Amino acid sequence: MQKLEPGEGWSSHRPQGIDESTKKRRSNFSDALPAAGPLPPEDEHAELRLGCFEITGKKRPRPQSLNLVKSITPNAVHEQAPLAEAKTFEIGGGSASQPFPADNSELSKQPRTLEVAAKRTKQQRPPSQSPAEAQASQAAKDNGMNHNATLDPESQEQSERREREYFKPYIGEPCGPENRFLVEAPLGRGSFSSVFRCSDTKGRGKEYAVKFIRDNPGLRKATEAEVRLMRRIRTKAVEKDSEGANCLLGLASLETFMHHGHLALIFHLQRYDLRTALRRGGRGFPLQDLERYASDLFLALRALRAIRIIHTDIKPDNLLMSLDKKSVKLSDFGCAVDTQDEVQIKHIRRAYISSYRAPEIILGQSYSTRVDMWSAGATLFELAHGQVLFGEDSNNKLLYDMLNTCGPFKKAFATAGKNALKHFNLEGDFKRKRTDGNEQLLPMRRFAKPLTPLLGRLQQKLQDVKLKDFAGLLGQCLVPEAIDRLAPEEALQHGFLRNSQ
**pLDDT number for residue 5:** 39
Higher pLDDT, 213 or 107: 213
- DSSP reduced 3-state for 478: coil
Question: What is the C-alpha to C-alpha distance for residues 62 and 39, in angstroms, rounded to an integer?
Answer: 47
More confident site: 403 or 30: 403
> Other CB atoms closer than 10 Å to residue 145's CB: what's the count?
18
Residue pair 287/474 in contact (Cβ under 8 Å)? The answer is no
Q: What is the DSSP string of 339-356?
A: TT--S-HHHHHHH--STT
pLDDT per residue over 239-286, tens digit each? Answer: 999 999 999 999 998 899 999 999 999 999 999 999 999 999 988 899
Q: What one-letter code names the amino acid at 58?
A: K
Distances (CA, A) of 162 to 35, 99, 259, 353, 398: 20, 18, 18, 21, 30
* pTM beyond 0.75: no
CATH class of 74-81+282-500: mainly alpha
Given pLDDT bands bounded at 50, 70 and 90, which one contains residue 353? low
DSSP 405: H
Contacts of 176 (CB under 8 A, 6+ apart): 198, 210, 254, 257, 259, 264, 266
Question: What's the burial of 362, exposed, middle or buried (CB within 10 Å: 0-12/13-18/19+)?
Answer: buried
Q: How many residues are given for the chain?
A: 501
Mean residue pLDDT across the chain: 74
Tell me the H-state helices in 407-481.
411-414, 454-457, 464-477
Query: Is 410 assigned a ligand-binding role in the annotation?
Result: no
Q: What is the pLDDT of residues 155-200, one digit of tens each?
A: 899 999 999 999 999 999 999 999 999 999 999 898 899 999 999 9
Q: Per-residue DSSP letters for 104-136?
A: HHHHHTS-SBSHHHHHHHHHHSPPPPPHHHHHH
Contact residues for 124 (Cβ-Cβ < 8 A; gap 6+): 98
C-alpha 348/C-alpha 337 separation (Å) is 8
> 310 forms bridges with which residues in the sheet?
337
The 10 Å Cβ neighbour count of residue 488 is 24
Q: Which sequence spans correspond to the domains of the chain?
A: 74-81+282-500
pLDDT value of residue 463: 56
